[in-house]
Structure 1
Amino acid sequence: MPARLREADPAAVSSARARLGAGDATPDDVRLLVKHAMAVLQRRAPGGAVEVRVPPYSAVQVIGGTTHKRGTPPAVVEMDADTWLALAFGDLAWSDAVSTGRVVASGERSDLSEHLPLVPPLV
């Protein structure tokens, strides 16, 4: 089971998000923003029914319901970092991400649309 993530310092999130918006984000900025957004999702949608994966940065279990202990969970959502950040910040709709193949979602409760975007506020 993925560990509970800690949310980042709001000032660090703000700075990294500004650099991302300006097209100057470093890999460390992307990592910080991905992990922070995953931690916010984990706090807002606690549970273990769905595993959300943003390789290579993070994976969290969210949403109440069935909880798995070993192996592949019953519901998995996977996407790249750019897609995750666009969803988290409200720059991309869940339905558009799924229909264009930017998100691969399978299993019961794998629709995250009611939990996204995470802004406002992300912190």
Structure 2
Amino acid sequence: MADPKPAPDPLKDTVVPDVPPIMVGGYGKAGGYEFSADEVDGVIKQWQDLLADLSDDRQYAEAVANVQAPADEVASHTFINNGANTSGQSLLDEHYKMVKYTQNFITALTAAKNKITVAEQEHRDQLDQQNNGGY
């Protein structure tokens, strides 16, 4: 029996603005946000809480994006095809952008805190995920 294929990652091709420069305790790029070493953990926690809230909200965005016609008749199908599904998909796309931007911001904050580059932090996160049984 073949292993089931993993679900496609909706965030993979999602394009979001770059995270502004972040400096923590004098390390990082100037010209953006600056945090002391004492306050950065609290800032990271706030962004992680936002990410958790966005994850909880995903089910609502998916419900709107996948709304079904209440009846099998022209008016219902017109409503779904000409407005509801398009609007719902737009909501879901924007939701994915918020999730990806939030993930990128957490990575950038963590990298600045650890005094490493974002690429090094992403590699570290991937290794941690593999060591914890993830992919």
Shorter-normalised TM-score: what interval? under 0.3
Larger Rg: 2
TM normalised by structure 2 equals 0.22
Structure with the largest fraction of strand: 1
Compare relative contact order (CA 8 Å, sep 6+) and give the higher one, 1 or 2: 2
Structure with the largest fraction of helix: 2
TM normalised by structure 1 equals 0.23
